[in-house]
Structure 1
Amino acid sequence: MDTKSQIIDVATLLFQQKGYKGVGLTEIIKTCNISKGSFYHHFPNGKEECLIACLRSLSDTITGEINRIFNQSPTTHEATKKMIEKLVGLLEVDGTIAGYTFTSIVSGMGSEIEPVRTVLSDFYLKMQKIYTTKLETDGFSKETAHSNALMMTASIEGAILLCMTQKTSGPLKTISQLLTKLLKEF
């Protein structure tokens, strides 16, 4: 693994565990076992630039996995159920699902830094587009698909946050039942 990828992987994990504000540059450098010069070689604008790289990498990973699940499932109903089952499984086995949300990284600071806000907005729009496309394929009108995709994104992200804070998969299981029931009714 090259140094830049190592920094992104390590910083992402640290940001997920402690939040952006809870991680210092020195901790990232020490954990990566690199020099400050090496860090700044890859991220000349410092920790904020590193955060943006971490968020983009995480966005690619998450949306890639969502795309895979939705492309392999015949309906939005089945895809949503599979996706939430995966998240529940991760939480119950690993004790966390921080790797599938930005919440743990940017809680309390997402709108403070414009480039971070932009990356977050792009991520959530990518998720909604995946859901919207699948819903339209299922026969939903463009407007209804868009509205339901927004509701799905907000529900799943909110449930992930509740699971992380309550240390239980219950909120995701409830959302899975409600979303899949709602999607069947349309």
Structure 2
Amino acid sequence: METKSLIVDIAIKLFQQKGYNGVGLNEILQSGKITKGALYHHFPGGKEELLIACIETTNAMICEDIGSIFAAFPTTQAAAIALLDKLIVLYETEGTIAFYTIGSVVSGMDSLHDPVRKACSRLYADMQEIYSNKLMADGYSRDAASSTALMMTASIEGGIMLCLTNRSADPLRVIKRGVSNLLKEF
């Protein structure tokens, strides 16, 4: 594995476990047996630049997965249920779904700088675009699709965090019923 990718992979795992503020660069270096010079060669801006790379990598992985699920189902309702079922199964079999959210990574968001905030915003915007496009294909107006996509993003992201803190997949089950009912009504 390329050194830069190794650094990002290690940092993602540590940031997901402990949050951005809970992880020091030395811990990342020790976990991967990486030199400080190698880290700063790839991330001259230090920890914050590394965080942005982690968010962008997470964004690509999450959106690729969501996109493939939403492309495989004929309606937003069916796709959303499939996505939530997948998250529930992942939680129940692996005991975590932290890799499917950036919420745990960016705890303490208020102290992060604008480039990090923008990287997080792009992830949520990309997710919402997938949902919104599918909703418009189902016949929703652009405004209705946009607001519903925002609600779906917030609900799923919040549900993941509740699963992690409550150590139960029940929050996602509740959200699955709510999203299913909401999308049925249209």
Q: TM-score, normalised by structure 1?
A: 0.98
- 1:61 corresponding residue in structure 2: 61
1:147 shift after superposition: 1.1
- Note closer, same or farther for the CA distance 1:96–1:110 as it changes in structure 2 (3 Å cut): farther
- 1:39 corresponding residue in structure 2: 39
Root mean square deviation of aligned Cα: 0.9
Percent identical residues: 53
Matched residue type, 2:150: L
Asked if the contact 1:163–1:172 (Cα under 8 Å) also holds between the matched residues in 2, the reply is yes
| Mapped partners of 2:124, 2:91: distance in 1 | 21
Asked if the contact 2:21–2:108 (Cα under 8 Å) also holds between the matched residues in 1, the reply is no
User: How big is each residue's C-alpha offset from its partner over 1:9-59, in whole Å with a ceiling of 9 and x where there is no partner?
Assistant: 001000000100111100001111011111111111111111110010000
User: How big is each residue's C-alpha offset from its partner over 1:133-157, in whole Å with a ceiling of 9 and x where there is no partner?
Assistant: 0000001111111111111111111
| Mapped partners of 2:76, 2:110: distance in 1 | 29
| Mapped partners of 2:75, 2:110: distance in 1 | 33
- 1:82 corresponding residue in structure 2: 82
| Structure 1: segments with no counterpart, 5+ residues | none
Q: TM-score, normalised by structure 2?
A: 0.98
1:112 shift after superposition: 2.6
Runs of at least 4 residues off by over 3 Å: none
| Structure 2: segments with no counterpart, 5+ residues | none
1:161 shift after superposition: 1.0
Asked if the contact 1:16–1:98 (Cα under 8 Å) also holds between the matched residues in 2, the reply is yes
- Note closer, same or farther for the CA distance 1:110–1:8 as it changes in structure 2 (3 Å cut): farther
1:111 shift after superposition: 5.9
SS at match of 2:174: helix
- 2:185 corresponding residue in structure 1: 185
Q: Select between 132-141 and 110-119 the one with higher mean Cα deviation.
A: 110-119
SS at match of 1:104: coil
After the TM superposition, which residues 99-178 of structure 1 pair with which residues of structure 2 at under 5 Å, given as runs? 99-109=99-109, 112-178=112-178
